[in-house]
Amino acid sequence: MNVDEKRVLFLALKAGELLLKSGAETARVESTTTRICRSCGVNDADVFVMPTGLFLTVNSENSQTAVQSYIKRIRGSRTDLERISQLNALSRQLEEKSITLEEAEIRVEQIGHEMQFPFLIRLAGAMMIAGCFTIMFNGSLMDFFCSLLVGALTYLFQIKLAVRLQLNWFVETFLCCSFATAMALIFTRFHLGDNFDPIIIGSLMIFFPGVAITNAVRDILAGDTVSGVSRAADAILTALSIAMGAAVVLQIYSGMGGVL
Amino acid sequence: MLLQFVAGLMATIGYALIFNQPRRHLAATGLAGAAGWILYLYAVSLGTGEAFSCFLSAFLVTVLSQLFARLLKDPVMIFCIPGIMPIVPGAAMYRTMRAFIEHDMAQAAAAGYSAITMAAAIALGLLAASSLAHILTAVRHTFFRRPL
């Protein structure tokens, strides 16, 4: 296998890994990786993608060299729609030959590192989610402001504490939701909010597995049943850990004599 | 209704922000999410069941996402993921959990049932709209030979 072919493969592998980690659906990862290979002249490439790993095999046109396979284990993901958009655009530019292989390699490296929104804007996003859902579930104006505060604290807790501890996602979600519920109960206790139900719902909505649900449906529809079912299981388990996180705190609260 | 529209809009944009959505699509996504939420509320107020309202709303959000995806040339899921969040049955799941804690099994079963049917209805709405788009594209390809 010549060096150039190897570079194409590593480019495709890197792009596929980034896509999968950013929460792209299986079919998109597969089509983008093969598109990158084909547009760089590696025609006989096949890829198999699962939420936890990526397999890429190429057969060189030179019959002397062996068939090459690459396996990439994927761990942990964070939804990043901007990355999906950029990698998708990149693969199409490669297809149209409007950028070279070198430029593409540099771009993929950049896409892997850059972060569009700074932390404060994402924090504002979390506050908007918490506050708006409180209104959507009939919270009062007091509840809205209280919910903004609880949402901000919970998101801070998640990013600054829970993620750094490198817990598995089940425990992470559980802890964050317990924290959100505890904060909502404490704030309503001190009359910062009228009613804790809408406040808790608002803050828990930050953790809802919307990406997993959407991708599960899209995967199953595209015929990637294995990925689809595992994403659906992911969604169900996340929902359970959200409910358990809140339930434990509410149970303790009522055990201590609080009125639910 | 206007307040609910703004709330749905801002909530969807909130998700778009934490999911790091491309900046240029924020308005379109917010619109899709808010439209879905308003349709859901309107359908429920007309007496349509929660689940069917979720189906209609998810269908609308996906159709709008498909439209925006073609207009703005980006993958559908970028618009779809934040867009369906307002109708995800968070409140129903919360009520289920509350009822369990209070040992009110009848209430828990009722709320749990509505949470599960709503989630399934959202999945079906997504599925129906995506299939519809697929069929329309295929029809256009076969009969009019015009690539979309």
Q: Using one digit for the tens of pLDDT, what is the confidence trace for A11-21?
A: 999 999 999 99
Given pLDDT bands bounded at 50, 70 and 90, which one contains residue A3? low
Query: Is residue B92 within 8 Å of residue B114, measured between CB atoms?
Result: yes
Query: Does B59 or A45 have the greater pLDDT score?
Result: B59
**What pLDDT, on the 0 to 100 scale, is given for residue A154?**
93
Chain A residues with CB-CB distance to B85 below 8 A: 129, 205, 208, 210
Write the secondary structure of A2-16 as one string of H (helix), E (strand) and C (coil): CHHHHHHHHHHHHHH
Report CB contact under 8 Å: A80, B19: yes
CA distance B6 to chain A (A): 8
**Does A35 have pLDDT greater than 80?**
yes
What ipTM was assigned to the predicted interfaces of this complex?
A: 0.87
Chain B residues with CB-CB distance to A85 below 8 A: 22, 74-75, 78
- The set of residues, in sequence order, having a beta carbon less than 8 Å from that of B76 and lying 6+ positions away, is B62, B65, B66, B69, B130
CA distance B128 to chain A (A): 10
- The set of residues, in sequence order, having a beta carbon less than 8 Å from that of A55 and lying 6+ positions away, is A47, A48, A49, A69, A70, A71, A72
Mean pLDDT calculated for residue range A229-254: 92
Query: Is residue A204 within 8 Å of residue A242, measured between CB atoms?
Result: yes
CA distance A41 to chain B (A): 24
Query: Does A58 or A156 have the greater pLDDT score?
Result: A156
Q: Nearest Cβ partner of A82 from B11, B20, B90?
A: B20
In this prediction the pTM is: 0.88
Q: Which residue has the tokens 């809802």?
A: A208
- Chain segment A64-104, per-residue pLDDT in tens: 777 788 898 988 778 889 999 999 999 988 888 888 888 88
Q: Nearest Cβ partner of B100 from A133, A214, A247?
A: A247
